[in-house]
Structure 1
């Protein structure tokens, strides 16, 4: 029997899974690593910690009698790694690092002077987390390090591939997050590199397709990861792309929602398809995924907002007890809006607006408002925030939902009523969409016949919308969207006071 050894090197840990060509997970492993927080908003990790954690996770996921057909890699995106001759020259700068704010603005100004709109050229709104801005900051503050760099990688998956002898590579999905990729040509943008003070020769090669074999493990593999020499290395899309493949597969056209700690709407769409509301919202992320495009609209607090509301309103009640409270309320009052409009923004927001200063809001309180209404209103607020990324004209389509929040039947009903879509719940403990998508990418890159099915092909549990509730929420959606702008203005006035 053969299996694909899949690694997801995430923000705080690496997860490993050995997945056979039928889609069965044969063994799993995981190991954590630390993040170092620095003054001024700095966030860094040691690439050597990535390798140590990967070796631990692989050791846990190794199963006797299973031939490893390939090592398939994905992970966090938009990190900056300066590669030397024998590893990273300094700690990796993470996508959460905010120290490059002045460099980001200077880069934008320099590009504008040349007639280039940075956001338009890259297809995404750029900010201090852009790898181009990060490099410009390092070139200014640590010129000796950037001068010694042999090349760059943009996340732990690319770094690990390089350490195993594959050379310098970046998948297109990750490249879309760096602020350095030309959205039209899907090659590195020479003007942005020049404005960042970055020699284009340092940039890694770009993969094509949903995944690409970029090399084979060399003699270092045994010491670094405990793997044999000659194992094919497949660089899958970065974690957001791999997760999308794992939920809905490689074919475009299906939206899915995630109700994890954060929340998002994601959809794989043919590149350059016609209009709908989300592509025109610059708060959405547009990422290359194979020949298609992955559109992601991410709300910072999804499950985190629900957990906060249980603590704040329900005295720390657990999720199951809170669900029972909402079910009782629904039996007494029926489905439909609470009458509250809630912005679930606990500390800044990413969609439907990008505003690091935005704070949450609750509108519509009255004397009869109780804890259950406040909790239900928070769940409505998350669902309404996500709904701003969906095309109302496609309300008849199913919406697949994953993540821990998908276990909540009342929240699924709220999401169905807010979006007008039948919700297919894929809350499946032990099923990891990112690792599954990495396996799909690996099997297809190697041309292996396989039956690895995405989660959306599982039966799941269907939750139909209530027609009256759908109409009521549709009437509230414009007011909910307008509340973001009103809250931002109030916040500005308060800051001046």
Structure 2
């Protein structure tokens, strides 16, 4: 028998699973694509029952294809922070509300900030309240959907939902809990009782553990539904961006993980609790670490939109974009097609394409979109550093790392060297590693750099530094100069969709 760990991650656009051998080799992988629901402007949600259905489908596929695999532990991971409220029988009372791309809770953010005080919220939880704050979305359900709220008894996120279905344990990791602002005390590493009782008093508090801790063992019922042997240990898991950082070894002090996906995420790791109004301060995936994190609301989603709009395939678009060259022949794009998270924290921001002429091509547009995401990354990195983040190493991960051009554009725009590891499949691989670590004998725990060594380094073209410094300045000024009109358009969009 071949000893393996199983890692499964529920992402924004798909659920991915991997079967990983003891040395880190991926034995097999499986994916189930899905879509989120956008029933109103600013709403992004998903039926949580899909998560379990896809989990069981993936495990069934992997296990049946490899009957010689002995699964010794299971790792779980998922997008977040999400808000899935369930009743006393663990039945969802409504669709899960997704992370910061869902911007419905603006009124609750304002009310809670007024009631508690922005300074006190930051002192307790580390971050101001933004569209990323899961606590404000809990309050939204309480305010706007009283029937669902009346039945709500438990709080889950994708990873903890899978852990619950597999083991019966009701747990949540500290990292995810720290994004349930303002309900978590970051220095005390515990739920903040006064505010939990005020805004979520009828919800049973999940037990807090760390991402790699064992939540429980696979029950007989879960074994029958998944094919995973009864009694197999399951870790608590955490949010996908943090699991991705684990998958590439970018969770040490001084590391910055840059995740290329449907959205883009950045996680800087340190020992100190850094606070800045425009970023997210969180607990780390491991005890003794803190993170300063940020995220773009669109990255891969923007390039996918252009692909659909043009009808071209990615290889052709990338070739056209490469031919377009730096600056996209005078185009500049703001990538705020779904509002923006950090560092501007503006749910009413919208995409802007500036400089268009009849001479511009689809390659120019695609190049400008890649540069837009890179400019957004630079804005985040500079904001982190201004807050005191010591960023010594950048590690890239996610599906977007398969294309060299996007990586090169980001390095050129930011001036940063990026390391690309051998395996960039992401959070499912990190979940499998955490599971392997959780059941390893003392002194024989796996090392991620052995599992997943760096195989490519992207160096910035220093000849482009001055050019991109100028473009970044224009990027910042374009947002400030256009946001008044853009906010009016966003309000009109909301009124039209609700009317």
Superposition pairs of residues 54-453 of structure 1, within 5 angstroms: 54-62=55-63, 63-88=66-91, 90-95=93-98, 99-112=104-117, 117-127=120-130, 130-140=133-143, 146=149, 149=152, 151-179=153-181, 180-199=183-202, 202-208=204-210, 210-272=211-273, 280=276, 282-284=278-280, 286-290=282-286, 291-309=288-306, 315-328=310-323, 330=325, 339-363=330-354, 372-391=363-382, 399-426=394-421, 431-448=424-441, 449-451=444-446, 453=448
- 1:133 Cα deviation from its structure 2 partner: 3.2
Pairing 1:490–2:492 present? no
User: Quick one: distance in 1 between partners of 2:185 and 2:329?
Assistant: 45
Which position in structure 1 is the counterpart of 2:497? Answer: none
Residue correspondences, number: 479
8 Å CA contact 1:246, 1:454 repeated in 2: no
Aligned to 1:276: none
Aligned with 1:480 (options 475, 479, 487): 475
Deviation for aligned residue 1:181: 1.3
Measured on the aligned residues, the alpha-carbon RMSD in Å equals 3.6
Q: Report which of the two structures shows the higher radius of gyration computed on alpha carbons.
A: 1
Tell me by how many angstroms 1:434 deviates: 0.3
Distance 1:329 1:484, change over 3 A: closer
TM-score w.r.t. length of structure 1: 0.83
CA–CA distance in structure 1, aligned partners of residues 489 and 175 of structure 2: 39
The structure whose RCO (Cα within 8 Å, separation 6+) is larger is 2
Alpha-carbon distance in structure 2 between the residues aligned to 1:104 and 1:266? 23
- Counterparts of 1:385 and 1:12, CA distance in 2: 21
Does the aligned pair in 2 maintain the 1:111–1:118 contact within 8 Å? Answer: yes
Residues 366-425 of structure 1: per-residue CA shift (max 9 Å, x gap) = 797666544433322221111122258999955333334433333333222211123334
Q: Which moved more, 1:449-458 or 1:76-85?
A: 449-458
The residue aligned with 1:468 is 463
Unaligned ranges ≥5, structure 2? 493-499
Change (3 A) 1:31 1:409: closer
How far, CA to CA, are the matches of 1:360 and 1:140 in structure 2? 31
Secondary structure class of the residue paired with 1:87: coil
* Structure 1 residue runs without a partner (length 5+): 274-278
Residue 41 of structure 1: how far off its partner (Å): 6.0
